[in-house]
Amino acid sequence: MNPFAAKIIPLVLCFFLGLGLRQLKLLSKDDAPLLLRFVLSVCLPALMILAIYRVPLAADMLLIPLCAMLTVFAVFGVSSAVGKRLQMPGPTYGSFLVGTLIMNTAYSLPFYRAAFGDEGLARASLFDIGNTVLIFTFSYYYAIKYGDNSHSDKVDWKKFLKLPPLYAMSAAFLIKALRVEIPPLGVNFLEMAGQPMGLIMMVALGLTFAPKLSHLGKAGIAVFIRMGIGLLIGWLLAIIFGLQGVTRNVVIVCSGLPVGFNTLIFAELESLDREFAATMVSISILIALFYIPLLIHIIH
């Protein structure tokens, strides 16, 4: 078997494991947020520290979070114009817009770790940081604008400042800059803490898979903008900045990632169209199960 496929297929099987556990009522979609919080708070920070600690820093890494932000702004121009022409109700348009802006960068991390090891994980994590900055600022603003915003019209910066991966990345770069050596016991602990990330992430995705047929048409357009137009924008940015190697792969592929889970969270918090948001996430995750690993493999 192809070595890349041997690493990726188990991740895909974990998605179907999540579906099976939900059908057997051993777990439910309500368990997914807890699983994802564990990944965000424990597994991902541990792996990010190790990845940055082990990988030589390069100048082109600074362009990765910038490309993530530029992708979001460019997609916004497309999705806002298309969404208005579809003449959707305000809450549905809000879900449509926010869904196209939020990239599920956490989804890509197990695949990049499987494909490129620490180097891939470190660069994909930098893209995740650029995306996350705009999730809790730019994207969240539009969730508030088109939802029930009677309680507030301000972005809650505290949500961004409480993100464990942000502090993990800061600590990792500080360790790198000061040339501090992590003892073997510390390395073993971080490896153990990060090891379940792929399993837990993909099971959680399986638990939340719930498309609604009534929303397929417009949700499909949103997914095409997020994954198709996003991919094209990433490709153009890679050409403009002359990116090469793993950095080029990360910028192109991550720009075409599926709709992020924060779309569901914002839809719930701000009373956007929840069913439309769930359909976008479900459709895009199903496509991404095969589309993203293939892109990672073929883009050089």
CA distance 166 to 184: 24
Q: Cα dist. 251→13, 105, 266 in Å?
A: 26, 11, 25
Q: Is residue 211 a contact partner of residue 281, using CB atoms and an 8 Å limit?
A: no
pLDDT band, very low/low/confident/very high, at 106 (cuts 50, 70, 90): confident
Tell me which residue of 205, 299, 252, 293 sits closest to 3, measured CA to CA: 293
- Give φ, ψ of 97 to 5 degrees: -65, -50
**3-298 has which fold?**
Na+/H+ antiporter like fold (1.20.1530)
165-224 residue pLDDT tens: 778 878 888 888 888 899 999 999 998 998 888 788 788 878 877 777 767 889 999 999
pLDDT above 60: residue 289? yes
- pLDDT at residue 159, rounded to an integer: 59
- pLDDT at residue 150, rounded to an integer: 45
42-56 residue pLDDT tens: 888 888 888 778 777
Residues in the chain: 300
pLDDT band, very low/low/confident/very high, at 156 (cuts 50, 70, 90): low
Tokens of 22: 């939900």
Average pLDDT in the 52-66 region? 82
- pLDDT at residue 87, rounded to an integer: 86
- pLDDT at residue 190, rounded to an integer: 92
> So where are the chain's domains?
3-298
pLDDT band, very low/low/confident/very high, at 98 (cuts 50, 70, 90): very high
Average pLDDT in the 11-28 region? 90
Q: pTM higher than 0.75, yes or no?
A: yes
Written in H, E and C, the secondary structure of 180-194 is: CCCCHHHHHHHHHHH
pLDDT above 80: residue 252? yes
pLDDT band, very low/low/confident/very high, at 158 (cuts 50, 70, 90): low
pLDDT band, very low/low/confident/very high, at 278 (cuts 50, 70, 90): confident
